[in-house]
Amino acid sequence: MHRKTFLRSAMRALLATTAASLATLAHAAYPEQPIRMVVAYGAGGGTDIVARVMAPYIAKYLGHNASIVVTNRAGAGGAIGFTEVANAAPDGYTIGFLNTPNVLTIPIERKVSFSWQSFELLGNVIDDPGNFSVHSDSPIRNLADLVAFAKANPGAVTYGTTGIGSDDHLAALLFERAAGVKLTHVPFKGAAEVHNAIASKQIMMAAMNIGEALQYAKGGTPLRHLGQMSMTRTNLAPTVPTFKEQGFDIVMASLRGIGAPKGLPPAIRQQLVTAVERAAADPEFQAQAARYFAPLRYLPPARYESELREAEGGFRQLWNQMPWGEK
């Protein structure tokens, strides 16, 4: 009897030791399968390009032969992609880019199954000021010309954005109010579609971030940038005047950070946070981002959260003053 008791105790101890060892190995092995990085906009846009440039560096700093596969889930101003990330299993195998203001404004304007609090914030990467661009064939050379044309031709200025409630759309609404003009909004599923529309002259103006516009211009699209929506001229576009310089107190930009479903295991969350931070600081990544005119601004999770919380309050106030849903 004593021998059986001893054997049972020994077996339990062995099983416990084995389970602990397996748990340790499982943790050490993360990630054991490819990680999906969801981009809520179409291929070829600014977010998509940064995601594809950055993914190998995040994988590099995760180690364990990690791989990250970028998938595009465009539509509904970003809501389709954001929802997919928020609803995914919190196991570390789904992450995604979060674009402001869309991730903040969509839940304000309509009922959706996510808010920015639905995500584990892993760090912000990009801060890209807004901008208006026209085809270089256009007679419009600055914001004063745009106002004069729009007043003479109410509604004739068609402008493309990445969707209702996007930074581009809100900036255009603020400009309409400040200038006393009426423009016609044409929403698309991503910056690449806006680019195609301005290149083919389907629209008169592209409301897109300055980094994206510079990238498309370098790629051969003849664009004229009318103004950037930063406090001061950015290093990316030192010759492009700000809206404030031209008499319009409009400052608007798109943060592009990375998030995961809420509820990640703490150890996996920390691995991802560290990998994003190290990737953002990697000189090779920074050099590649510069080639694509991606304005980097890394924010650790706590600072990123603070910016989102403050921005959400501002957009709720704006919604009360000027609801931006299409009539």
**What local confidence, expressed as pLDDT, does residue 251 receive?**
94
**What local confidence, expressed as pLDDT, does residue 12 receive?**
62
Per-residue pLDDT tens digits of the chain, which is 327 residues long: 455 554 455 556 555 555 544 444 444 589 999 999 999 999 999 999 999 999 999 999 999 899 999 999 999 999 999 999 999 999 999 999 999 999 999 999 999 999 999 999 999 999 999 999 999 999 999 999 999 999 999 999 999 999 999 999 999 999 999 999 999 999 999 999 999 999 999 999 999 999 999 999 999 999 999 999 999 999 889 999 999 999 999 999 999 999 999 999 999 999 999 999 999 999 999 999 999 999 999 999 999 999 999 999 999 999 999 998 765
| Contact by Cβ (8 Å): 72, 42 | yes
Tell me the domains of the chain and their CATH numbers. 32-127+253-321 (3.40.190.150), 129-246 (3.40.190.10)
**What local confidence, expressed as pLDDT, does residue 310 receive?**
96
- Does the bond joining 31 to the residue before it have cis omega, within 30 degrees of 0? yes
CA distance 200 to 52: 26
Residues 6-24: tens digit of each pLDDT: 445 555 655 555 554 444 4
pTM: 0.84
**What local confidence, expressed as pLDDT, does residue 325 receive?**
76
